Amino acid sequence: MIKYCIYSLFSYLCGASGLGLATGTRPVIMKTQQILLMNTLCTNFLILVSALLLTGCNDGIFVSDVPSPSESQLDIPDGGEAMFTFPTKYLDHISVMLPETGRADAFTPDWMWDELDEPYPIYTVDDHNFTGEWFDDAGAVDSENWSDGYYASFYDVRGGTPENVRRMTLKNALTEFELAWVGPGQIAVKAIKNLTGHTIEGSISLGYSFKSESVGFRLAPSLKADDRYEVTGIRYDEDEKIRSLYVKDSISVDFDNQRADTVVYRFPIADFCRVYVDYSINPDLKMRFDDTAGFPDVEIPTFRYHPEGGWIRGQLWGEKVPFSFGEQVSVPAFDSALWYEGTFDRAYVITLPPHTCFRGVFIVERLDIATIANLRIRNRADGREMEIPVKVRVNQPHDFRMEYDKFSLDEKI
């Protein structure tokens, strides 16, 4: 390429001076003035070529003097961080190659699928998409979504990222980690969560105007098979979907009075109107709870009646019940769900004259409430805290009634 440029420039100068190269055998006669002009042009040409060559040599020396990053691979333990240094002169961009978190084996739902129909949280292909959030000194700047296995831009001198970015958080349903400037030419990578059950790998690409460098990183798994965990609470996202379905229980109620006097029967309803709560996590998260630590009371979604009306659906009203893993929780019904000032802790009083019977059906109107929340857990061995998805399902009564008939025992029923 350089030879071609020199030849083209020389040819141009010769042409500009009126000189030509001889062709054939015809002699070329040069006058004295032409010879002097040619000498001048050749001298200027040599000066120009020398300057180009010297500049190229200096450039080559500069490139070879630029050091590589201080680390080529970062092994980051769960909850830990690692740092590397690198030159920033002529730096154009910094990008993150996002780790593969299991998209190839993930469930692909159709348009009719609803995660709340499943017995526990299911990881779909969309759960492996990463959300990146850039932060400056004042807080969040911007956010963007990427698929796992793609590049996410952390810094771009051409304006592809927000200005004055100090750190960036990248997360999906199973993984979360952070990049942060900790000084000029210094970046720290922090591991926040890895629920895949194995070590995952990514890399950080440093793009310069004349070369590129790469620093790999490995994030250790957060859940350890040999450790025990305790539950510290539940957190609900503000935009989390809470689904409510109408269901009902029907209980047969039969009494016979074969005596010659009147008999009064009582039918308590409290035991038929209890609230049932189930908690479930994805079984792929191979973890064990510490049975000796006990479980706390946690908030659940419930229905509460409003005099001004509205939809009968579950919301977060601050009601708390004990957490339990693997066993259904049963608590007394909440009287706040009734549309009148009544209580579920009552009994029907049934008076039967002699030789009569009672045939009834006690109906309990219920809401089957379900949502996906964040279960807060703590590793008993090292004190590490994290969150995992948990399905919370609440079966709550909100009304009741008795449908019945009384018959003479002499009648055919």
Q: Say whether both 209 and 351 belong to one domain.
A: no
Quick one: 290 and 391 in the same domain?
Answer: yes
The single-letter DSSP state of residue 42 is H
Which residue in this structure is represented by tokens 């379905």? 245
Q: What's the CA gap between 156 and 358, in Å, rounded? A: 80
* Same domain flag for 176 and 91: yes
pLDDT of residue 138: 80
Series of mean pLDDT values for 10-residue runs along the chain (413 residues): 43 44 40 49 51 46 70 95 93 93 89 90 92 86 85 82 84 94 93 93 93 95 90 91 94 94 96 97 87 89 81 86 93 92 93 94 96 94 91 96 90 54
Within-domain flag for 344:
yes
CA 376/CA 298 separation, integer angstroms: 10
- For position 378, which CATH number holds? 2.170.15
Residue 40 is predicted with a pLDDT of 55
Q: How many structural domains does the chain have?
A: 3
Q: Is 362 part of any domain?
A: yes
Q: Which of 219, 238, 268 is the last residue of a domain?
A: 219
Query: 252 and 316: one domain?
Result: yes
Same domain, 294 and 393: yes
Please give the distance of CA 306 from its chain centroid, rounded to a whole number.
35
Tokens of 279: 């908690």
Q: Would residue 77 count as lying in a domain?
A: yes
* pLDDT at residue 146 in the model: 87
Bridge partner list, 347: 268
Indicate whether 39 and 87 sit together in one domain.
no
Domain co-membership, 133 together with 177: yes
Do residue 289 and residue 313 come from a single domain? yes
Number of neighbours of residue 329 by Cβ within 10 angstroms: 18
Q: Taking the model in full, what pTM does it have?
A: 0.75
* 177 assigned to some structural domain: yes
Who's near 373: CB < 8 A, 6+ residues apart? Answer: 234, 235, 236, 237, 240, 389, 390, 391, 392
Q: How many Å apart are CA 202 and CA 194, to the nearest integer?
A: 13
* Helices 2-16, 32-65: inter-axial angle, 10-degree rounding: 160
What CATH number did the domain enclosing 213 receive? Answer: 2.60.40
| 204: containing domain | 73-219
pLDDT the model gives residue 278: 97
- Other beta carbons within 10 Å of 74: 22
User: 413 lies in a domain?
Assistant: no
Same domain, 177 and 245: no
